């Protein structure tokens, strides 16, 4: 069928989408999400069809991507016919029906996802089916390999390459900024890519960006590594696992994360990691709620690593409260720097040297934790961080007071006397985001108390920082609605957790950082 081109001035995130009139679609025998092949001169392209009743007959609407690929302009004529669906749609259907997919089937799906031949409807169904049916270790291995194959790689010669990853979920977790310099100061190579916050108040890339640029290319990363053995950069624009970026677009609205393991491991593989420590913070308000769950996940990480030729160990860490006292990019960068200067909170320091110690022992050293502590105590890690900052283009002489914090602030005090019995991670994250984090880098929360501390009525609990007054006001209002921190003098206060029906909506928040 011959149709005249209309150009639509929109893009579809790389997806080849065209619009057809309902009657033309009928003549071609195609329905929602069916594919058509478009021929123009010597170029051919298979596109996904949107069917419209108002779009004029005899025309075909081309999204930006399609025009560019066909090199066709408005008013010209193209030849159109029904095309087969890509084979991957059959495999997606098989997954919906609970089948285990074979390696070549998964490769086909991932390739078609990256090449945007899969519609949103099919992609969503695939992610949902993967979540509900789960995936076998063979499937996870194939997914990981396919994600690595369709992405870019950092090829560096120095071996071994060490790496660290946290599955996230704890506000204020700036461990990476302390750990990477410790490991690099010991002479090891650790090219660390980090995520930005999607639903949390700060990702490590957001924190590090307060100290220096993190938007480096693979070539720039290589240069940094050759100088200082380490980097802390944003991994999101490196195209290490482009399939994952497309899966996130679906996982985020559905609040499910069935590709967690392939997503993490494929990126570690792309960076060439040989030894990886994975942090699994565990707590009632964290991503992983129980020790049992953490063990299950750890087993899978270790097995998947083995299959990809990586040595992995996991650390189950205390996730019942924020790490350190600071939440929000700038507040956290400050706290990380303080910790490297020997003046940081104990829990953060302890976590960083524990994880660094595990890495040291994985590569054959004895008493890794002791070694890590010494490097930190001697100021070698601080020096290394300053080297990294300089190599990435920041100011290596940066002082604590150089880091700007939001000028608007509000102090929240204890309404009664007692012991701190809980600090709600999700509420703290919600509050910090409401104050403006991570976009406003100076916004966030600075805690004055941690679990087990004893406060008197009127004592400071935490300070909210914001860059804009309106944001501060919103955060203060939210504080009044939430019970962020629980104080109790009496065990009897704790027995009734909640009464149902309740007036407040029990929202399950979804923690996504990549």
Residue ranges binding a copy of itself (CB under 8 A): 8-11, 13, 19, 26-27, 29, 31-34, 50, 52-55, 61, 64, 89-90, 92-93, 96, 98, 119-125, 127-129, 131-133, 198, 248-250, 252-256, 433, 439, 507-508
CB of 101 to a copy of itself, least distance (A): 15
CB of 62 to a copy of itself, least distance (A): 11
- Catalytic annotation on 257? yes
Radius of gyration of the chain (CA): 26
CB of 194 to a copy of itself, least distance (A): 18
Coil, helix or strand at residue 350: helix
Number of Cβ within 10 Å of residue 16's Cβ equals 21
- Given the complex with a copy of itself, which of 63 and 325 has the nearer CB atom? 63
- Given the complex with a copy of itself, which of 10 and 494 has the nearer CB atom? 10
CB of 97 to a copy of itself, least distance (A): 8
CA distances from 437 to 207, 331, 427, 432, 471 (A): 11, 10, 14, 6, 10
Tokens of 272: 């060439």
- Given the complex with a copy of itself, which of 133 and 460 has the nearer CB atom? 133
Q: Phi first, then psi: give them for residue 204, nearest 5 degrees.
A: -60, -35
- Given phi > 0 = left and psi -120 to 50 = alpha, else beta, which region is 280? beta
- Given the complex with a copy of itself, which of 26 and 489 has the nearer CB atom? 26
- Kindly give the pairing relationship between strand 17-21 and strand 59-62: antiparallel
| DSSP state at residue 195 | P
- Given the complex with a copy of itself, which of 9 and 187 has the nearer CB atom? 9
CB of 232 to a copy of itself, least distance (A): 22
CB of 131 to a copy of itself, least distance (A): 7
| C-alpha to C-alpha distance for 216 and 300, rounded to whole angstroms | 31
Catalytic, out of 163, 206, 245, 257? 257
Strands (DSSP E) contained in 241-306 are: 275-282
- Given the complex with a copy of itself, which of 84 and 284 has the nearer CB atom? 84
Residue 215 contacts by C-beta under 8 Å, 6 or more apart in sequence? Answer: 233, 234, 237
Name the helix (H) or strand (E) containing 446. Answer: strand 444-447
- Given the complex with a copy of itself, which of 314 and 327 has the nearer CB atom? 327
Burial of 173 (0-12, 13-18, 19+ CB in 10 A): buried
CB of 185 to a copy of itself, least distance (A): 35
Strands (DSSP E) contained in 336-482 are: 408-413, 418-423, 444-447, 454-455, 460-466
Tokens of 283: 């707590």
Coil, helix or strand at residue 286: coil
Strands (DSSP E) contained in 235-325 are: 275-282, 311-318
Helices then strands, counting H and E runs in the chain, come out as: 18, 18
Residue 463 contacts by C-beta under 8 Å, 6 or more apart in sequence? Answer: 409, 410, 411, 412, 445, 446, 448
Q: Cβ(57)–Cβ(26) under 8 Å?
A: no
Q: Cβ(13)–Cβ(42) under 8 Å?
A: no
- Given the complex with a copy of itself, which of 66 and 376 has the nearer CB atom? 66
| C-alpha to C-alpha distance for 266 and 264, rounded to whole angstroms | 6
CB of 221 to a copy of itself, least distance (A): 23
Q: Please identify every residue annotated as catalytic.
A: 257
């Amino acid at each position: 069928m011959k149709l005249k081109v209309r150009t639509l001035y929109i893009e579809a995130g790389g997806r080849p989408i065209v619009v057809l009139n309902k009657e033309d679609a009928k003549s071609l025998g195609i329905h929602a999400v069916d594919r058509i092949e478009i021929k123009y001169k010597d170029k051919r392209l298979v596109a996904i069809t949107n069917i419209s009743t108002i779009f004029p007959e005899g025309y075909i609407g081309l999204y930006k991507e399609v025009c560019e690929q066909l090199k066709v302009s408005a008013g010209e004529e193209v030849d159109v016919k029904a095309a087969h669906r890509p084979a991957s749609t059959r495999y997606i259907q098989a997954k919906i029906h609970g089948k285990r997919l074979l390696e070549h089937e998964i490769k086909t799906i991932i390739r078609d996802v990256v090449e945007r031949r899969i519609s949103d409807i099919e992609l969503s169904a695939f992610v949902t089916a993967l979540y509900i049916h789960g995936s076998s270790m063979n499937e996870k291995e194939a997914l990981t390999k396919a994600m690595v194959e369709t992405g870019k790689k950092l090829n560096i010669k120095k071996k071994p390459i060490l790496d660290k990853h946290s599955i996230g979920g704890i506000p204020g977790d700036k461990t990476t900024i302390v750990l990477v310099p410790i490991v690099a100061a010991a002479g090891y190579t650790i090219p660390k890519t980090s995520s930005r916050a999607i639903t949390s108040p700060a990702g490590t890339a957001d924190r590090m960006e307060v100290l220096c640029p993190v938007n480096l290319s693979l070539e720039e990363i290589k240069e940094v590594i050759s100088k200082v053995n380490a980097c802390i950069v944003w991994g999101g624009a490196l195209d290490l696992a482009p399939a994952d970026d497309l899966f996130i677009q679906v996982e985020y609205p559905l609040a499910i994360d069935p590709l967690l393991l392939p997503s993490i491991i494929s990126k570690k593989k792309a960076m060439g990691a040989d030894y990886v420590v994975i942090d699994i913070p565990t707590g009632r308000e964290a991503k992983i709620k129980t020790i049992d769950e953490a063990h299950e996940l750890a087993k899978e990480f270790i097995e998947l690593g083995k299959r990809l030729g990586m040595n992995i160990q996991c650390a189950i860490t205390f996730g019942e409260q924020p790490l350190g006292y600071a939440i929000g990019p700038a507040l956290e960068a400050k706290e990380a720097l303080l910790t490297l200067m020997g003046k940081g909170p104990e829990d953060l320091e302890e976590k960083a040297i524990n994880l660094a110690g595990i890495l040291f022992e994985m590569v054959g050293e004895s008493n890794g934790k002791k070694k890590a502590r010494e490097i930190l105590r001697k100021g070698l890690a601080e020096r290394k961080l300053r080297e990294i900052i300089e190599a990435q283009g920041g100011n290596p002489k940066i002082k604590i007071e150089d880091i700007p914090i939001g000028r608007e602030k509000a102090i929240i005090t204890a309404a009664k006397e007692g012991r701190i019995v809980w600090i709600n991670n999700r509420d703290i994250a919600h509050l910090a985001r409401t104050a403006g984090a991570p976009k406003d880098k100076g916004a966030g929360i600075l805690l004055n108390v941690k679990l087990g501390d004893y406060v008197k009525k009127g004592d400071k609990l935490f300070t909210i920082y914001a860059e804009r007054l309106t944001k501060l006001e919103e955060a203060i209002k939210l504080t009044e609605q939430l019970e962020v921190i629980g104080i109790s003098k009496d065990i009897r206060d704790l027995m009734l957790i909640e009464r149902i029906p309740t007036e407040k909506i029990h929202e399950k928040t979804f923690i996504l950082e990549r």
